[in-house]
Amino acid sequence: MNSPRKDLPLFPLKALQALCTLAFAEDEGTGDVTSEAVIEPGHRSRAYLLAKESGVLAGAPCVEAIFRHRGLAPRVEWACAEGEDFKAGQVLARFEGGTRDLLLCERIILNFLQRFCGIATTTRKFAEAAGPSTKILDTRKTLPGYRLLDKYAVVLGGGVNHRQGLFDRVLIKDNHSEASGSARAAVDRVIAKVSRALPLQVEVRNLDELETLLETPVDSILLDNMSDEDLQSAVERVRAVAPHIKLEASGGMDLPRVRRLRDMGLDFISVGALTHSVQALDLSLKIGTGPGEVKRGRK
């Protein structure tokens, strides 16, 4: 896998804070009845975050933010950097604080971290499969409320964010073309009504539809659900007559197919599965000193 990113994006703290309120409301409710029954107030513990499978760390800033949301400040020491690869069995972080506090935040921390690490790890695999000349894009197929966080994790894995929402790019999709009569008609309406400061992208479903757009001022064309053969034909045609147009392929993209397409000449491949089919990475937060650390005895 690749080395850690040095140009880390800004962590979307406000998005996390909004979700923290909901997370504690559903998990804590009226209180942690088990911990309150078996653990004395003021009891302190050491704990560690353990990776049970290999992956990419994404979301480390959320740990301290979750504690702060409840007014807590345990000591947190990271042994792995944000965006860095880690191995199964590796300790990612160590904690020291009130035992009740650690257990109160345990599941919420893991729910966020496992999701973000899962996204980053999957993205890293797709980015490596695509090679250096083709970028992996995410989509808007995100969990509602999590979009900024999910897209942050994509960048940590080496992917590139597509549009954040409906507001920051003109993307004429198949439904727009159907409602307008054709993709070309939709483009003409956009040119007449929308500022050209926004990027203009058009989705096409076949080579005939592609041909109608080659003399328009589109910035990029999305080649949706095309066969490998049609994708190759589309790349050759656009590069010959309109080389300034960026090309993105989408639809049915898994790792074997991305590897097949890596040298085709596409600029981008978008993969909805990065965020709509997240496989959470297996992490665990354990009370104790953990591997690699000497347990301190009592005097």
Catalytic residues: 107, 141, 173, 203, 224
DSSP state of 280: -
Percent helix, strand, coil in the chain, to 5, is 40, 20, 40
3-state secondary structure of 157: coil
Burial (CB < 10 A; 0-12, 13-18, 19+), residue 214, is: middle
Look at residues 272, 261, 176 and name the one whose alpha carbon lies nearest to residue 227.
261
Residues 48 and 110 sit within 8 Å (Cβ to Cβ): no
The full DSSP string for 49-114 is EEESS-EE---HHHHHHHHHHTT---EEEESS-TT-EE-TT-EEEEEEEEHHHHHHHHHHHHHHHH
In angstroms, the CA 1 to CA 3 distance is: 7
| One-letter amino acid of 85 | D
To the nearest 10 degrees (0 to 180), the angle between helices 13-27 and 99-130 is: 130
